[in-house]
Structure 1
Amino acid sequence: MKQAVLVVDVQPSFDPPDWLVERSRLLAAKFPSVATVERHDEAKVPFFRQLGWTPRSVDDSLVQADRIILKYGYSPPPEVIEQFQSWKIDRVLVCGIQADTCVLAAGFALFDAGLQPTLIADAVVGSSLDRSGKLGVELWRHHFGQIINNHLEIT
Structure 2
Amino acid sequence: MKQAVLVVDVQPSFDPPDWLVERSRLLATKFPSVATVERHNEDKVPFFRQIGWKPRSVDESLVQADHIVLKYGYSPPPEVIAQFQSWKVDRVLVCGIQADTCVLAAGFALFDAGLQPTIIADTVVGSSLDRSGKLGVDLWQHHFGQVIDRHSDIL
TM-score (norm. length: structure 2): 0.99
Q: Which residue of 1 aligns with 2:92?
A: 92
- d(CA) in 2 for partners of 1:115, 1:137: 18
- d(CA) in 1 for partners of 2:88, 2:73: 26
- d(CA) in 2 for partners of 1:85, 1:102: 20
Identical positions, percent = 87
- What do the CA deviations read for 1:83-136 (whole angstroms, capped 9, x no partner)? 000000100000000000000000000000000000000000000000000000
CA RMSD of aligned residues (A): 0.4
Gaps of 5+ in 1: none
Query: Structure 1 residue 50: deviation in Å?
Result: 0.1
Query: Structure 1 residue 34: deviation in Å?
Result: 0.1
The correspondence of residues 114-133 of structure 1 with structure 2, limited to 5 A, is: 114-133=114-133
Query: Structure 1 residue 142: deviation in Å?
Result: 0.1
Q: Which residue of 1 aligns with 2:58?
A: 58
TM-score (norm. length: structure 1): 0.99
Name the amino acid aligned to 1:17: P
Q: Where does structure 1 differ by over 4 angstroms across 4 or more consecutive aligned residues?
A: none
Query: Structure 1 residue 61: deviation in Å?
Result: 0.1
Task: Give the 3-state SS of the residue equivalent to 1:57 in structure 2.
Answer: coil
Q: Which residue of 2 aligns with 1:13?
A: 13
Q: Which residue of 2 aligns with 1:102?
A: 102
- d(CA) in 1 for partners of 2:97, 2:18: 12
- What do the CA deviations read for 1:10-69 (whole angstroms, capped 9, x no partner)? 000000000000000000000000000000000000000000010000000000000000
The reply to whether residue 81 of structure 1 matches residue 81 of structure 2 is: yes
Gaps of 5+ in 2: none
Name the amino acid aligned to 1:146: Q
Q: Which residue of 1 aligns with 2:34?
A: 34
- d(CA) in 2 for partners of 1:42, 1:24: 29
